[in-house]
Chains A and B, each alone.
Chain A
Amino acid sequence: MSLFADTFRRDIRLGLRRKGQILMAPVFFMMVSVLFPLAMGPDPVVLKLAGPGLLAVAALLAALLPLDTLFRDDDADGTIDLLLLSPAPLSLYVAGKTAAYWVLTSLPLLAVAPLMMIVLDMPLRMAGITLCALFPVTFLLNLAGQTGAALALGTRTGSILLALLLIPFYIPILIFGASAIDLARNGLDAGMPLFLLWALLAVALPAAPLATAAILKGLNE
C-alpha cells in the first residue's frame, strides 16, 4: 500500500512543480466548450440539444491530451525497470499514478464544469447530477487511458496512435456520460446511464491497474 501512497505523493509533487501542465487540461476543456457555441451560433434551442454531448466530448478530448506523457518519464529514467526488478506489486504503482493523474488533470476540469454549464446555457441546479456523471466519466477515461498509454509506451507516434487505440473504449463511456446529462437536461430520470457508469467504474477500478501492470511487465521482459 505504501507504494501506492508514495507514487501518488511523488506524482502530485512533480505535477505541482509544473503548473503550466496542470492548467493545460481544464483550459483545453474550456476552450473546446467555448468554441462549439461560437461555431454553431448561440441559439438556446441548439445549445439545449447539443450542450450535454459537447460537455462529454470536451472532457474526452481533455483527458486524451496529456496522456502520452503518463509513463514516459518513468520509462526514460528507469523507474519502471527498477520497479519490475523489485518484488513490489506494479499494479499499486500504476494505481497511484492514475490517482495522481486524475487529481492533477480531471479535478480542475470538474471544478470548472459548472462554469462551462453556464456557457452552454444549462441551468445551474443541474450541476450536482452533471458532476455525478462527469466524475465516473473522467475516472473511466483515465483508467482506459492508462492502459492505452502502457500499450503505446515507446512508440514514435505518441498521441495520434493513442487516440486511435482508445476510441473503441472511449465510445461507451462517452455515450453513457452524454446520455445521463442529456436525460437530466430534459427533466427525465438519468438513473440507468448513471448506474451503468458507476458500475463500469466499480469493475474498471481494480481491473484496469492489474491489466496495465501486466502489460508493462509483459512488454518489458
Chain B
Amino acid sequence: MSNALFALANPARFRKVGMPLLWVSSAASAALFAWGLWLALLASPADYLQQEAVRIMYIHVPAAWMALGTYSSLAFAALSFLIWRHTLAGLYIRAMAPVGAAFTAICLITGSIWGQPTWGTWWVWDARLTSVLVLFFLYAGIIALADAFENRERGLKAAAWLSLIGMVNLPVIKFSVDWWNTLHQPPSVSSFARMVEPAVDKSMLTPLLAMAGAYLFLFIALAVLRLESEIMSRRIESARMRRNHG
C-alpha cells in the first residue's frame, strides 16, 4: 500500500497511471449518473409521507457522504505530506479542498431545499446542520490559507496543518445525530446491522447507491484532473522562472 503510494509521488509516473484512470472513472461516473438519475427521478416510488420531495435525497445524501469522505482524504494527504514529504499529497490538498467545499455546498443547499417542504423551514440550528456548516468554513479556511503565502510550499504546509487539526470536527459531524436528539434524522444506511436489513427499501436503496457510486467516480476523475493541472501549473511556473533568471 505505502510502496504503491510512494511510487505515485513521482509526477511523471502519476501521469502514466492517471490518464487511463481519468477516462475510466469519467465514463463510469457518467454512466452511473445516467442510470442513477433515471432511477431516482423517474423509476423509483414517491415516499408515502414526503411524496415527490424524497427524490432530493438521491442528490443530498451522497453529497454529504462525499463531503466527509473528501475531508478524510485531505487529512490523510496532510499526514503523508507532513511526515513523508509526499510531493503529490501537498498538491492534492490544494487541488481537492475546493471540490470538498463544493460537495459540502451541494449538501447544504439541497438539504435546505428539502427542509422547506418536509420540515417547513429552510434552515434550523440543529447539531447536524451546524456541524456541516462548520465543515464548509473549514474547507474555506484551507482554500484561503493555501493561497495566502508568497511562498507556495509554505502555503501547502500551512493548509496541511489546518486540514489535520480540523479532523477533530469530523467525528462530531458523523455522530451529531446520535449524540443529540435533533431535527435531522439518524442514519438509515451506514451501520453494518443496517446493511443486512436496511431501514431504506430496496426500491430506494438501489438508486441511492447508484448515485453514491456516480459521485465517487466523479470524485476520482476530478482528483486526477485537478492534480494533473496543479502539476502542470507548477511546471509552467518553474519554466517561467528559468527563462527569467537564467
Residues of A within 8 A of B (CB): 147, 151-152, 154-157, 161, 164-165, 167-169, 171, 211, 215, 218-219
Contacts and interface: CB of A to CB of B under 8 A. Distances in A.
17 contacts: A151-B158, A152-B145, A152-B148, A155-B148, A156-B148, A161-B145, A161-B148, A164-B137, A164-B141, A165-B141, A167-B137, A168-B138, A168-B141, A168-B166, A169-B165, A171-B134, A215-B158
B24 interface: no
Contacts of B161: 151, 215, 218-219
A155 B145 CA distance: 8
A168 B132 CA distance: 10
A211 B137 contact: no
Contacts of B195: none
Interface in B139-153: 140-141, 144-145, 148-150
Contacts of B157: 218-219
A156 B140 CA distance: 17
Contacts of B148: 152, 155-157, 161
A161 B166 CA distance: 16
A164 B162 CA distance: 12
Contacts of A219: 154, 157-158, 161
A155 B165 contact: no
Nearest to A157: B148
Interface residues of B, number: 21
Contacts of B141: 164-165, 167-168
A165 B169 CA distance: 13
Contacts of A154: 149, 154
B174 to A, nearest CB: 15
7 closest Cβ pairs, A-B complex: A155-B148, A165-B141, A168-B134, A168-B138, A168-B137, A151-B158, A167-B137
B35 to A, nearest CB: 37
Contacts of A168: 134-135, 137-138, 141, 166, 169
Interface in B156-179: 157-158, 161-162, 165-166, 169
Given A152-B145, A168-B137, 9 more contacts: A152-B148, A154-B149, A165-B145, A168-B141, A169-B165, A171-B130, A211-B165, A218-B157, A219-B161
A211 B165 CA distance: 9
Contacts of A167: 134, 137, 141
Nearest to B134: A168
Contacts of A157: 144, 148
A165 B137 CA distance: 8
Contacts of A164: 137, 140-141, 144
A153 B35 CA distance: 49
A156 B144 CA distance: 11
A218 B82 contact: yes
A215 B140 CA distance: 20
A157 to B, nearest CB: 6
Contacts of A218: 82, 157, 161
A151 B148 CA distance: 11
A196 to B, nearest CB: 12
